[in-house]
Amino acid sequence: MPKDSFDREINYLRISLTDHCNLRCVYCMPLQGVHFAPKPELLTPAEIETVVRAAVSVGFRKFRLTGGEPTLRSDLLEIVGRLSAVEGVGDLALTTNAVLLPDLARPLKEAGLNRINVHLDSLNPATVERLMRWGTFAQIWRGIMAAEEAGLVPIKLNSVVTAGYNEADVIDLARLTLERDWHVRFIELMPLGGGECATLSVQRYVSNIETRRRIEAELGPMTEIGSSNPGDEARNYRLAGARGVIGFISPVSEPYCGTCNRMRLTADGKFHLCLLNDDELDVRKTIRENPRDSIPRIARILERAVALKPTGHHLLEGRSTRERSMFQIGG
């Protein structure tokens, strides 16, 4: 298993399949002026499989497909089928807004997908339309139900808390864990990419310290529980008598850089060394120069990316990625 220069074991690759999305969350993507990577610049299913085979060869075992919105890829089932068949892939998951899952959940499970994370910022339909835009709560909820019925479990819900929009809605989301064995996770805003979304992320930031206090004031104290995954970015808690888990992902108030085990592959074929830094290494060029002999060369690039992975971010110093926004990295 590869280790970086800070002795962290890096075994988790997040793979962005596209920078397109069918929603326009206010903190992620503006309504106008968005430029997407041309289709020829996106990695093909075969190229993504090649990267995964290289990653497995150096010790990566956990893989997640992200976007933008990965279900917009018309070849998503082919990608999942290819990756799930690679020997050494121990876990294959997908992060989605669930809008298209009613038709895709069961085929994805049959293709080899293990589980999903769903982005849902509120249970209030009006808030969803105001904050997430271009989608409805009913669409997302149908997708979640379809995923659970298909066996893409445990269901994890990711909610980005945004002041003036949904900070009060965290209580209803947390309450879901009382009756359902789901993981409901609250994520702090992060300013990525500059522009209006990054500005809003600073102005509308809500600390997870505040979010936890809000939940406990309404639903009672929570007990912190350990995680079997040392690289888990969430601090996990359980309400008294609850079936599910409440997690807090707090890159600003409680950074978890010291246990980070992730590398990211952008949709246009770059290893992005840290979510909140601009450093990248090109992979697509290597694949396309000599596709028949690319696995060992990609493995060397990945090992170099791991070695160059920075110790952490610089948000408290006012520095973050300027070259890419969240939808261009994959979260």
**pLDDT band at 67; cut points 50, 70, 90:** very high
| Amino acid occupying residue 62 | K
Mean model confidence pLDDT for the chain:
91
pLDDT of residue 323 exceeding 70, the answer is: no
Residue 76, domain member (yes or no): yes
Going by C-alpha positions, the residue among 187, 269, 319 that lies closest to residue 19 is 269
pLDDT at 322: 57
Q: How many domains, the chain?
A: 1
Residue 312, domain member (yes or no): yes
pLDDT at 320: 54
pLDDT at 327: 66
CATH number for position 194: 3.20.20.70
- Mean pLDDT for the stretch of residues 84-101: 97
Rounded to whole angstroms, how far apart are CA atoms 279 and 323?
9
pLDDT at 64: 98
- Mean pLDDT for the stretch of residues 175-199: 89
DSSP characters over 152-209: --S-EEEEE--TTTTGGGHHHHHHHHHHS--EEEEE-----SSHHHHHHHHHT---HH
Tokens 């007990």 appear where? 223
- Mean pLDDT for the stretch of residues 66-93: 97
Residue 274, domain member (yes or no): yes
Residue 3, domain member (yes or no): no
Tokens 């850089």 appear where? 257
pTM of model > 0.85: yes
pLDDT at 197: 80
Rounded to whole angstroms, how far apart are CA atoms 236 and 227?
7
pLDDT of residue 317 exceeding 70, the answer is: no
pLDDT of residue 192 exceeding 80, the answer is: no
**pLDDT band at 229; cut points 50, 70, 90:** confident
Question: pLDDT higher for 114 or 272?
Answer: 114
Rounded to whole angstroms, how far apart are CA atoms 131 and 160?
10
Going by C-alpha positions, the residue among 92, 26, 45, 84 that lies closest to residue 65 is 92
Rounded to whole angstroms, how far apart are CA atoms 213 and 118?
24
pLDDT at 314: 53
Please, which residues have CB within 8 angstroms of residue 28's CB and are 6 or more apart in sequence? 21, 197, 325, 326, 327
Residue 6, domain member (yes or no): no
- Mean pLDDT for the stretch of residues 269-278: 81
pLDDT of residue 240 exceeding 60, the answer is: yes
Rounded to whole angstroms, how far apart are CA atoms 104 and 60?
27
Residue 5, domain member (yes or no): no
8 Å CB contact between 267 and 43:
yes
Neighbours of 130 (CB within 10 A): 15
- Mean pLDDT for the stretch of residues 129-135: 94
pLDDT of residue 319 exceeding 60, the answer is: no
pLDDT at 256: 77
pLDDT at 290: 83
Stated as kind and residue range, the H or E segment containing 312 is none
Residue 4, domain member (yes or no): no
- Domain limits at 220? 12-329
**pLDDT band at 163; cut points 50, 70, 90:** very high
- Mean pLDDT for the stretch of residues 283-305: 92
Neighbours of 214 (CB within 10 A): 18
Going by C-alpha positions, the residue among 71, 147, 157 that lies closest to residue 109 is 147
pLDDT at 273: 84
- Spell 167-198 as b/e; 16+ CB within 10 A means b: bebbbebbbbbeebebbbbbbbbbbbbeeebb
Tokens 């028949």 appear where? 292
pLDDT at 214: 98
pLDDT of residue 330 exceeding 80, the answer is: no
Q: Tokens representing 118?
A: 């769903």
pLDDT of residue 304 exceeding 80, the answer is: yes
What is residue 302's three-state secondary structure? helix
Output the CA torsion sign for 108, 80, 17, 87: positive
**pLDDT band at 1; cut points 50, 70, 90:** low
Residue 40, domain member (yes or no): yes
239 forms bridges with which residues in the sheet? Answer: 222
